[in-house]
Structure 1
Amino acid sequence: MLDFISHDPRFSALVIGHAKLEKLWTGCRWAEGPAYFPAGRYLVWSDIPNNRMMRFDETDGSVSTFRQPSNNSNGNTTDREGRLVTCEHLARRVTRTEHDGSITVLAEQWEGRPLNSPNDVVVKSDGSIWFTDPSYGIESDYEGEAAEAEQDGCFVYRIDPRSGAIDIVIRDRVRPNGLAFSPDEQLLYVVDTGASHVPDLPVTIEAYPVGSDGRALGTPHRFATCPEGFFDGLRVDMTGNIWTSAGINVFCYGPDGAHLGTIPVGEIVANVCFGGPKRNRLYICGQTSLYAIYLKVRGAV
């Protein structure tokens, strides 16, 4: 299997022709939510059905259990102080792991009712935390616990960095999933996987313009449509290219929405993130395994 497939001449400036896709570890049921910690040179990711979080040590290649039980954690990221921010399906909340290991609950309800099952999360440069809340974690006992939804829909929320107040910023998606800001934070990319519930609905990445106040969002435009399978988690590099899970592959899109290239993985891909001392190693969570590949481009800070 080829390690790269180019669809646009611009892709050659992003990849290393002789770099290989490495399978670093296998043994998950559904790997998700990779987050890299540069101070320790390790990666944390979720294994949702197994109710655990795993840790890959980049210095020696070892893998260990980071946290179990994990409340069926899904998406993870780091904040501006290097703390872990986690979406938990089972507890239906977003938490932050402090430097001393204690856990702070950041969001668990909206207008007095429990959230659905927070899925993915990103931290903006102002410290605000943005997360998606589809219903996947309450639809069965496999990735959480079956329960009735108590919200009127599946929304995207923002947590204010100073007051901790929670606001809905997106209401027009069916099942909002992965999300990421452009490097200049002028756009918020949001995946909609509503096709899991609405037949013939396209699986898309929508691009929302961010207002001058840094929090209000304008009318989105359709950035990309997945030709087969599902988009899920995504990240952006320093030059504005989007690297996203796409069925059994990773797709790279240019800022103009052109499909630049493909990294074939061979199993369903859930999420990606940049890591390594130079942020030029793309970590990939396949369904059962953790992969990585070196690129010419660095991930956006």
Structure 2
Amino acid sequence: MKVQFEQLDKRFGEVARGDEYLECLYDGGRWLEGPVYSPAWRCLLFSDIPNDRVLRWDEVSGDVTVFRQPAGNSNGHTLDGQGRLISCEQGHRRVTRTEFDGSITVLASHLDGQQLNSPNDVVVKRDGSIWFTDPPYGITSNYEGRAAEQEIDGCHVYRISPDGELTVVADDFVRPNGLAFSLDESQLYVVDTPERHIRRFDVKDDGRLSGGEVFAPCEAGMFDGIRLDAVGRIWAAAHDGVHCFDPDGTLLGKVLFPDVVSNLCFGGPKRNRLFVTATTSVYSWLLTTDGAPQPYDHR
């Protein structure tokens, strides 16, 4: 499939370069989400939420196999500083870590005795803290989780400290979703999906947030997952494709897709391959822009 762009700012010309074609890696999902690239395993892991499985695309063979099923209706994933998989399990209403031996450690499931809604997306800061969003998508029906009553009053952004303490860092969202740190981790971008915008917070040394102004509105449906590239541009999943924003908030342009885009990540040996989950399919685009360094990236 030929790559289609919508350039809205001349600076997008410096970004929208690479392969002429998008590569479809897989097209057998029901609602795909949460892509994360593992350099150690040379693979892409991604969630097929309604089918309750995590799939694995092998970079060497190109094969797609089941990594985990059942998977707690997992949604977002990331890797910690040691390369261990951190997962948001909507069905089990918890955040987990997969250890090197394959065992699973529960990192967060309750706040003050009340069960979380359904953790959605997650990022890891270089200090080892884990930050995640908790909308109720996994408990509103049995489609993406298990229908249940919401125990916590509200949908919040959370931080798990390096010593395991769970705290609310933002409590004024309708349904927080994708999130990502700026390159120096002094700012945190968080999507509020029903509000159709991305907000930006200042991050204090002790983990508290301040600010929270609207960084960018969505021009096509709603935002979902977000990631940053190596110069700090924000790439956001939207209904018509992937939107690329300059750190000053300008929408530079879009990479258009035939399906509603849910999430994305950068990966590959050089971190210059954009992986995109879009409804039932996973796409890949090799480009001249690199993704932002990650806590597990020791290059």
The two structures share one fold, judged by TM-score above 0.5: yes
Structure 2 unmatched ranges of 5 or more: 294-299
CA RMSD of aligned residues (A): 1.0
- What are the Cα deviations for residues 80-102 of structure 1, in whole angstroms up to 9, with x where unaligned? 00000000011100000001100
- Does residue 113 of structure 2 align to residue 112 of structure 1? yes
Match of 1:223 in 2: 215
2:266 aligned with 1:274: yes
CA–CA distance in 1 between the matches of 2:136 and 2:108?
A: 16
Count of residues paired in the alignment: 292
Q: String of CA shifts for 1:102-129, please: whole Å, max 9, x gaps.
A: 0000000000010000000000010100
How far residue 9 of structure 1 moved from its aligned partner, in angstroms, is 1.4
CA distance in structure 2 between the partners assigned to 1:11 and 1:263 by the alignment? 10
The one of 195, 207, 210 equivalent to 2:203 is: 210
CA shift, 1:6, in A, is 1.5
Following superposition, which runs of at least 4 residues in structure 1 exceed 4 angstroms of deviation? none
| 2:265 counterpart SS class | strand
Match for residue 199 of structure 1? none
1:76-225 matches, cutoff 5 A: 76-161=77-162, 163-193=163-193, 195=194, 202-211=195-204, 213-225=205-217
Task: Give the AA of the match of 2:144.
Answer: E
2:18–2:287 contact (8 Å) kept in structure 1: no
- SS at 2:224 equivalent: strand
- Measured in 1, the distance between the counterparts of 2:103 and 2:277 equals 26
Runs of 5+ consecutive residues of structure 1 not aligned to the other structure: 196-201
The answer to whether the 8 A contact 2:18-2:286 is kept is no
The answer to whether the 8 A contact 1:244-1:252 is kept is yes
Instruction: Kindly state the Cα deviation for residue 17 of structure 1 after the two structures are TM-superposed.
Output: 5.2
Q: Deviations over 1:47-91 (max 9, x none)?
A: 000000000011121110100000100000000000000000111
- CA-to-aligned-CA distance 1:136-176 (integer Å, 9 cap, x gap): 10000000011110001000100011x20100000011100
Cα distance, 1:3 vs. partner? Answer: 2.3
Asked if the contact 1:3–1:21 (Cα under 8 Å) also holds between the matched residues in 2, the reply is no
2:14 corresponds in structure 1 to: 13
Whichever residue aligns with residue 289 of structure 2, its letter is: V
| Aligned residue in 2 for 1:252 | 244
TM-score w.r.t. length of structure 1 = 0.95
Hey, what's the Cα distance between the residues in 1 that align with 2:286 and 2:7? 16
Distance 1:5 1:214, change over 3 A: farther
Match of 2:278 among 272, 283, 286: 286
Change (3 A) 1:18 1:88: closer
Identical residues among aligned pairs (%): 55
For 2:230, which of 238, 242, 254 is the aligned residue?
238
